[in-house]
Amino acid sequence: MTSTDLTQTDPFAWFNTWMAEAEISEPADPNAMTVVTVGPGGKPSARIVLLKGVDPRGFVFYTNTHSRKGGELGTNPLTSLLFYWKSLGRQIRIEGRAEAVTPAEADAYYATRARISRLGAWASDQSRPLPERAELERRLAHFDEKYPGEAVPRPPHWSGYRVLPERFEFWQNMPYRLHDRTIFERTSDGFWARGKLFP
């Protein structure tokens, strides 16, 4: 499927096709995406996170909810995602609203993480000042002792967000900067309206 496929009306199917191709061509982390949030005074903030799930509802990632992005999403759930695959000359922009995943979803994903990562979720006060690296290592050692073995519970402040899209833009690099841009926007009746943009 290319961005000139005139039969495709489901942006999720288009996304899944492009992601599958990126998983073959990208050397590392094809599921890396930029997440943009808005803080006090309308100041934007962006960072790279990893997509951990996609379904017909939206796009899921996990984090410390006390982090900067967690705090900003708690105040203003409007967000945007950006995927960029240099090897394919493609990017996908997604705009929507973030909502919390269920505790069961967070538990299920948390259980798949390496033990050291689960301990790190307890040890790290994400986005807060760290006086020295040794402090993180001390906290990690504390929780390693507190939770021996594989039974490391999920911290109450560690969960996930699902971005419910309202708009997609599929961008395909073309010669001479005459790029192809296809957009999908959700209509009031829940369907997707498709269109094109000038490059």
pTM of the predicted protein model: 0.92
Q: Are residues 122 and 104 in the same domain?
A: no
CB atoms within 10 A of CB 95: 17
Q: Are residues 172 and 121 in the same domain?
A: no
Structure confidence at residue 27 (pLDDT): 86
Q: Fill in the DSSP letter of residue 153.
A: P
Say yes or no to pLDDT of 2 above 60: no
Q: Are residues 29 and 99 in the same domain?
A: yes
pLDDT confidence band for 91 (50 / 70 / 90): very high
Q: Are residues 104 and 120 in the same domain?
A: no
pLDDT confidence band for 8 (50 / 70 / 90): confident
Say yes or no to pLDDT of 156 above 80: yes
Residue 4 lies in a domain: no
What is the three-class DSSP state of 36? strand
Q: Are residues 53 and 73 in the same domain?
A: yes
User: Is there a catalytic annotation at residue 177?
Assistant: yes
Range of the domain at 191: 11-111+156-197
The secondary element (H helix, E strand) that includes residue 174 is: none
Q: Are residues 31 and 77 in the same domain?
A: yes
Q: Are residues 41 and 97 in the same domain?
A: yes
Specify the number of domains making up the chain. Answer: 2
Structure confidence at residue 1 (pLDDT): 44
Q: Are residues 103 and 163 in the same domain?
A: yes
Q: Are residues 163 and 95 in the same domain?
A: yes
Residue 6 lies in a domain: no
Structure confidence at residue 7 (pLDDT): 62
Say yes or no to pLDDT of 5 above 90: no
CATH code for position 31? 2.30.110.10
User: What's the average model confidence in pLDDT over 189-197?
Assistant: 95
Question: 188: buried, middle or exposed (CB in 10 Å: 19+, 13-18, 0-12)?
Answer: exposed
pLDDT tens-digit readout, 36-72: 999 999 999 999 999 999 999 999 999 999 999 999 9
Structure confidence at residue 4 (pLDDT): 46
Q: Are residues 133 and 106 in the same domain?
A: no
Structure confidence at residue 161 (pLDDT): 98
Q: Are residues 48 and 77 in the same domain?
A: yes
Residue 3 lies in a domain: no
User: What's the average model confidence in pLDDT over 103-121?
Assistant: 97
2: left (phi over 0), alpha (psi -120 to 50) or beta: beta
Q: Is the dihedral of CA 178, 186, 68, 18 positive or negative?
A: negative
Which residue type occupies 75?
T
Catalytic residue among 177, 181, 186, 194: 177
User: How many angstroms separate the Cα of 163 from the Cα of each of 27, 89, 106, 170?
Assistant: 26, 24, 15, 17
Structure confidence at residue 108 (pLDDT): 97
Say yes or no to pLDDT of 94 above 60: yes
pLDDT confidence band for 3 (50 / 70 / 90): very low
Decide if 64 contacts 158 (C-beta within 8 A). Answer: yes
Q: Are residues 147 and 180 in the same domain?
A: no
Residue 2 lies in a domain: no
User: What's the average model confidence in pLDDT over 91-117?
Assistant: 98
User: How many angstroms separate the Cα of 18 from the Cα of each of 93, 98, 166, 192?
Assistant: 13, 23, 19, 18
Q: Fill in the DSSP letter of residue 187.
A: -
Cα 142 from Cα 147, distance rounded (Å): 9
